Amino acid sequence: TVSGKFDSVTTVGPRVIFTALLNETNDFVTVFKHRPEGTGVGLAQDTGSAYVTTYTESVPVGDVVTWSADMQCTGVITSSVQA
């Protein structure tokens, strides 16, 4: 699961990305990078492939929308350090 918040006044948010990737037949796989320590040379990262299974948004509260997307990994997740 990935999640976050965005300003509902913006015209582009996570909905555009995740609904494009959302595919009920699960045949659209995308590559991801997870950088738990942030971005930087020598820091950890995991890479793999996944497909999006769900995407949800809350009702805006003070122009802030909370979103969540679930993804199903396919294949191997590779751990390495950033170059």
Retrieve residue 30's tokens: 């995308």
Q: pLDDT by residue (tens digit) across 59-71?
A: 889 989 999 999 9
Per the CB < 8 A criterion, the answer to whether 54 and 21 are in contact is: no
Q: pLDDT by residue (tens digit) across 6-59?
A: 988 876 788 888 888 886 665 678 889 999 999 999 999 999 999 888 899 998
Spatial CB neighbours of 75, under 8 Å, sequence gap ≥ 6? 48, 49
* pTM recorded for the entire structure: 0.72
Please state, in angstroms and rounded to a whole number, the distance separating the CA atoms of residues 78 and 48.
Answer: 6
